[in-house]
A = this chain, B = another copy of it.
Amino acid sequence: MTTARRHATLEDVARAAGVSRSTASRVLAESGFASPIARERVRDAADRLGYVPNAAARALVRGAGVRLLVAVAGTSPGVLDDSYLDQVVSTTAQVCAPYGLGVTVAWVPLDQPGQLARLADDRAVAGLVLVNTTEALLDVVPRRLHGRTASIGIGSTAVPSVDIDNGGGTSAIVRHLYAAGRRRIAMVTGPAWLACSRRSVEAYRGLLREAGLPVREVAGDFSAARGRSAAREVLHRWPDTDAIVGISDATALGVIDQLRADGVRVPADVAVTGFDDIPLASVTALTTASHPVRRIAAAAATMVLEQRPAPPTTMFPSSLVLRESA
């Protein structure tokens, strides 16, 4: 196994099979004509020699890339140290393996979209997976990668996009709260520049307006820390609030923590809901909406690898998970 001999090249395979390099290439790359006999002899020889095509050479001549770039927009590089992104990257790497492609991650500062152009303007980049970016970032994607870009959580139709049904998920949550008799429902939102956050907020507003209930919003940022301070803010501004919708599980957990610390009973006095269904949610009995992150990431990666022609947006459902917090 630990062969010291030089790696077998296409030339070696061709010679062993008694055909030309061209024919061997045609057989192994599955392009163009080749007689069944030639086909078999080449495959045989390749097997025998343990031939593995040289990805660099292939990429060079084809003008193709050797890796996928997962780009994450955000205000600080801290977005990279996040369990959601960990799952996306790891899943992408799994999906890419059979294609012989690697994966890299990079943070794109929200106010410097040019950074993305710089990163993507590299022939080695075979495709792009944009995570939580703004539509503005899409403009900066080099033309070369237009067919090889997918986004997660942006809901754009300009680029094949995989999305969570944030609107539907939030609606389900708000309806559940309403059905449980809650009438003064507040929300800790996410950053407005994020489409997925906006969709949640809009669903919340829409439903409340429709029901003739007051809208009570406090700006958040997905974090638990902001959840804590937001909880205080909500009860300070609207003391009769009887439910708080968190934009994420982390936020909701922060809210619950603060409420309990302040002697507010959850869910008796105030019901609290999250979004995502992280492992912590089941332990803390958080009512939330669940999303198949791994499947979402795999779908996005597959889109760029297979160069799907059409499907503008694939929407993954958000399923309500009822637990004790609401």
Contact = CB atoms under 8 A, between A and B. Distances in A.
Contact of A56 (B59, B68, B103): B59
A54 B61 CA distance: 11
A3 interface: yes
B124 A55 contact: yes
A280 B117 CA distance: 38
Interface in A54-104: 54-57, 59-60, 64-68, 70, 80-81, 83, 85-87, 89-90, 93-94, 96-97, 100-104
A122 B294 contact: no
A121 B46 CA distance: 14
A4 interface: yes
B4 A143 contact: yes
Contacts of A81: 294
Chain A contact residues: over half helix, strand or loop, or mixed?
A: mixed
A93 B104 CA distance: 5
A184 B323 CA distance: 37
Interface in A119-153: 121-124, 139-143
A2 B293 CA distance: 31
A198 to B, nearest CB: 25
Interface of A: 1-4, 7, 50, 52, 54-57, 59-60, 64-68, 70, 80-81, 83, 85-87, 89-90, 93-94, 96-97, 100-106, 114, 117, 121-124, 139-143, 253, 279-280, 283-284, 294
